[in-house]
Amino acid sequence: MTRRERQNLGTGLLFISPWLIGFLALCVYPALSSLYYSLCDYSVLAPAVFTGAQNYRDLMNDALFWKALYNTLYFAFFSIPLGLLVSLSLAVLLNFDVPGRGFFRVVFFLPSLVPMVCLAVIWQWMLNGDLGLINNALKPVLHALNSIVGTHFSPPNWLLEARYAKWGIIFTGLWSVGNAVVIYLAGLQEVPRHLYESAEIDGANFWSKTRHITLPILSPVIYFNTIMGLIGSLQVFAVPYIMTNGNDGPGRSLLFLATYLYQNAFDYWNMGYACTLGVILFFVILVLTYLARKLSEKHVYYAAK
């Protein structure tokens, strides 16, 4: 290493030192101690006692853990594709040459700025069984359906019925897809126009242009957003926690991994077990991200640069 290189290394490290210290103290150290505590009986109030794999064995026999895992995967499985569908559709609509595009863009973006607590409070009210706006809009629709088909549908009491509670959370999430809409719209506007023009000469219609030009070019952005959505939805906590007034919903239908982790850590002071859940949560994220990556290798198109 020359003198110049050594000097640069020193200066470089000095500049990144705020991050480096934070990385060691607030990331590496907590991650490693989480791993260690996951093998301990630990309550913060008393020193940790090493118990080997006991927490992991307990976890395997813990019905609540399996319930939380199921709920979390269920939520991710429906909310990610639905979020993708809604945000992509809105972005495609915004990309049409129609009046008021700027206005609509703001309208779709605004809900994503709403703080999580307000989001939960507003939607708790929206989804209220008798008085909520959602059910009052559904009632005439279901009534018409019932009188035509002869069925007996009535709108559910979303957050108070175990079967529907998670759907209440999923709908709440769909309201705040605005971030993704803005990202997709930016991606759409970078699609080179000549591609569409040559496709039009070949007689392509809107759907075939979307299918063969827009989606392939947008696929890296879709992939990025899906990974972000995956990481986010697997840690879902605040909205269901607030909507249930700090609980986990009817029949624990809103007990998610992060909820169960929080309960163990701060309701039961069972910190070791909470760390075990954290380690599992991390591995769930890792495995699913890896699968998404494998899947993307076939379908994501990167333009040669």
Partner 1 sequence: MTAGRQSKALRIVAFTLLIIFGIAFLAPFAWMVSTSLKPLNETMSLPPRWIPSVVQWHNYRDAINAMGYFWRYTANTFFICVMSVIGTVLSSALAAYGFSRIEWKGRDRLFLVLLATMMIPFPVVMVPIYSLFKNLGWIGTFRPLWVPAFFASAFNVFLLRQFFLSLPKDISESARMDGCSELQIFLRIILPLSKPALLVVALFQFMFSWNDFLGPLIFLTEQKDFTLALGLQSFQSQNGGTAWHHLMAASTLVVLPVLVLFFFAQRTFIEGIATTGGKN
Taking CB under 8 A as the criterion, the residue among 108, 158, 164, 167 binding partner 1 is 108
Taking CB under 8 A as the criterion, the residue among 56, 74, 78, 109 binding partner 1 is 109
The answer to whether 49 contacts partner 1 (rule: CB under 8 A) is no
Q: Applying CB under 8 A, which part among 53-61, 72-80, 145-153, 193-201 lies near partner 1? A: 193-201
Task: Give SS3 for 8.
Answer: helix
The answer to whether 69 contacts partner 1 (rule: CB under 8 A) is no
For residue 291, what are the β-bridge partners? Answer: none
Whether 254 and 243 have beta carbons less than 8 Å apart is answered as: yes
**Least distance to partner 1 from the beta carbon of 29, Å?**
7
Q: Applying CB under 8 A, which part among 56-64, 73-81, 142-150, 262-270 lies near partner 1? A: 262-270
Nearer to partner 1, 150 or 245 (CB): 245
CA distances from 271 to 45, 49, 50, 54, 237 (A): 10, 11, 13, 14, 18
Whether 199 and 209 have beta carbons less than 8 Å apart is answered as: yes
- Alpha-carbon distance of 159 to 277, in angstroms, equals 26
**Least distance to partner 1 from the beta carbon of 251, Å?**
19
Sign, Cα dihedral of 144, 145, 148, 151? negative
Nearer to partner 1, 139 or 150 (CB): 139
The answer to whether 44 contacts partner 1 (rule: CB under 8 A) is yes
User: Footprint of partner 1 on residues 266-305 (CB under 8 A)?
Assistant: 266, 271, 274-275, 278-279, 281-282, 285-286, 289
Residue 285: both structure tokens together? 């994220």
Determine which helix (DSSP H) or strand (DSSP E) holds 271, and give its type and residue range.
Answer: helix 271-299
User: Measuring CA to CA, which residue among 44, 48, 88, 59 is closest to residue 211?
Assistant: 88
The answer to whether 200 contacts partner 1 (rule: CB under 8 A) is yes
Q: How many residues bind partner 1 (CB under 8 A)?
A: 111
The answer to whether 104 contacts partner 1 (rule: CB under 8 A) is yes
- Enter the DSSP assignment of 181: H
Torsion of CA 234, 162, 121, 284, to 10 degrees: -10
Q: Which string of x and - marks every residue 152-191 that binds partner 1 (by CB under 8 A)?
A: -----------------------x---xx-xxxxxxxxxx
User: Footprint of partner 1 on residues 14-43 (CB under 8 A)?
Assistant: 14-19, 21-23, 25-27, 29-31, 33-34, 37
The answer to whether 224 contacts partner 1 (rule: CB under 8 A) is yes
The answer to whether 215 contacts partner 1 (rule: CB under 8 A) is no
Q: Classify residue 302 as left (phi > 0), alpha (psi -120 to 50) or beta.
A: beta
The answer to whether 116 contacts partner 1 (rule: CB under 8 A) is yes
Whether 188 and 195 have beta carbons less than 8 Å apart is answered as: no
Class of residue 254 by CB neighbours under 10 A (exposed 0-12, middle 13-18, buried 19+): buried
Nearer to partner 1, 146 or 189 (CB): 189
Nearer to partner 1, 214 or 253 (CB): 214
Whether 145 and 153 have beta carbons less than 8 Å apart is answered as: yes
Q: Applying CB under 8 A, which part among 49-57, 66-74, 122-130, 149-157 lies near partner 1? A: 122-130
